[in-house]
Structure 1
Amino acid sequence: MSYDPTGHLLLTPVDREAPLRVRRLRQLGVGERPDPVFDEFADRLAEVTGAPYTMVNFIDEHRQFFAGLHTPDGVRPGADLGAAAAGAGAVSRYMDRDHGYCPHVVVRRKALVLEDVCDYPRFAGNPVVDEIGIRSYLGAPLIDRTGVALGTICVVDTEPRPWGRAGLETIKAMAAELVDQIHRREDGLI
């Protein structure tokens, strides 16, 4: 883990599994371009949780890529748009690895529930709070049959949300469902 020398806040954790993850993502053929199946999954995740933003997120050494994306206005930018091109407050398919909470979920390999990120000093200083206005996060890792944490599924809101135990169980169950779908795709069953 690394620390901000001025505030001693926890920053993005060191991810020693990233090279292995990148190899596995390439083997599976995911994580480099938008995928309609993952977009549909993100839409269903939004419907189930009531969250305005939902993502199927694959993470490499330097960035996060939302292969599945749901936004409240239904806009899904293409893979050619970077975070900088999206502008302040806009949603892109890409995000720097040091932004957001998914890198923590991948390294910890555990679901993360932040009903109000401002209640957690180590997470309140994340750039997504000021730059995008994120106030609530719920995410779970996508751990495949080889043991690699491929990425996450997550839901975020610009308002605090009482996710509770039900939210935690929902996000974990949906992550397991998506991993199963990825395995069936790899096996040629879908």
Structure 2
Amino acid sequence: MIPYGTGRPLLTPVDRDVSRRTARLRSLGLGERPDATFDSFADRVAEVTATPFSIVNFIDEKRQFFAGLHTPAGARGRSGLGAAAAGRGDRYLARDHGYCPHVLVRRKALVLEDVCDYPRFAGNPVVDEIGIRSYLGAPLIDRTGVALGTVCAVDTVPRAWGRAGLDTIKLLAREFVVQIECREGGHR
């Protein structure tokens, strides 16, 4: 799809639920600051999927926010995951970067064993800027039906995730939604 007047493909899908999601994130107090519990969950995702990066990602009107983040020790970079890994605390990424916005709008898990095999995804800035080559992500759909964000695992090399990877990331997303609902109910 080429938006009128731009002459280039639309890489990030139109997000019709962004206002509703943003309001829900604000009501839950999510998407503004890192959370040690969410970082621990991201560590677990990285361990289970054997990946160098994993993220609990909330997406609002302006940006993506990595509320939970696992990065390899000593990783370096100028922006996004690399900057966070370098210890700058930069947990933000533009809305048009990465694959989580696609998962959010589709409301379905996404498996990209090698992003370069998909022209739509190979041109994403995270390929050149961060070095992402494979992606496994699932939406975080809460009890109200709002897709709040995603949980994902990424690697800098192609990965054969297969059905097992898809099932794993979907299970982890459901598990994380339970954590959010427990927090909402005051059961920290």
- Do both proteins adopt the same fold according to a TM-score greater than 0.5, normalized to the shorter chain? yes
Alignment-derived partner of residue 43 in structure 1 = 43
**SS state of the match for residue 83, structure 2?**
coil
| Percent of aligned pairs with the same amino acid | 72
Alignment-derived partner of residue 66 in structure 1 = 66
Q: For residues 3 and 105 of structure 2, what CA distance do their matches in structure 1 show? A: 16
Does the 8 A contact of 1:2 with 1:14 survive in 2? no
Does the 8 A contact of 1:2 with 1:11 survive in 2? no
Q: For residues 106 and 60 of structure 2, what CA distance do their matches in structure 1 show? A: 15
Normalised TM-score (structure 1): 0.89
Match of 1:147 among 145, 148, 163: 145
Alignment-derived partner of residue 112 in structure 2 = 114
Normalised TM-score (structure 2): 0.90
Deviates more, 1:90-99 or 1:151-160: 90-99
**Cα deviation code 1:66-117 (max 9, x no counterpart):** 0000001178xxxxxxx9x748943330000000000000000000000000
Amino acid at match of 1:118: C
Q: For residues 39 and 87 of structure 1, what CA distance do their matches in structure 2 show? A: 16
**SS state of the match for residue 108, structure 2?**
coil
- Alpha-carbon offset, residue 144 of structure 1: 0.2
Alignment-derived partner of residue 78 in structure 1 = none
Q: For residues 122 and 148 of structure 2, what CA distance do their matches in structure 1 show? A: 25
Alignment-derived partner of residue 13 in structure 2 = 13
Alignment-derived partner of residue 83 in structure 2 = 90
- Structure 1, unaligned runs of 5 or more: 76-82
Amino acid at match of 1:51: T
Q: For residues 100 and 59 of structure 1, what CA distance do their matches in structure 2 show? A: 12
Does the 8 A contact of 2:2 with 2:8 survive in 1? no
Q: For residues 2 and 59 of structure 2, what CA distance do their matches in structure 1 show? A: 18
- Describe the shift of the 1:163–1:124 C-alpha distance in structure 2 as closer, same or farther (beyond 3 A): same
- Alpha-carbon offset, residue 188 of structure 1: 1.2
Alignment-derived partner of residue 184 in structure 1 = 182
**SS state of the match for residue 32, structure 1?**
coil
Over the aligned positions, Cα root-mean-square deviation in angstroms equals: 2.1
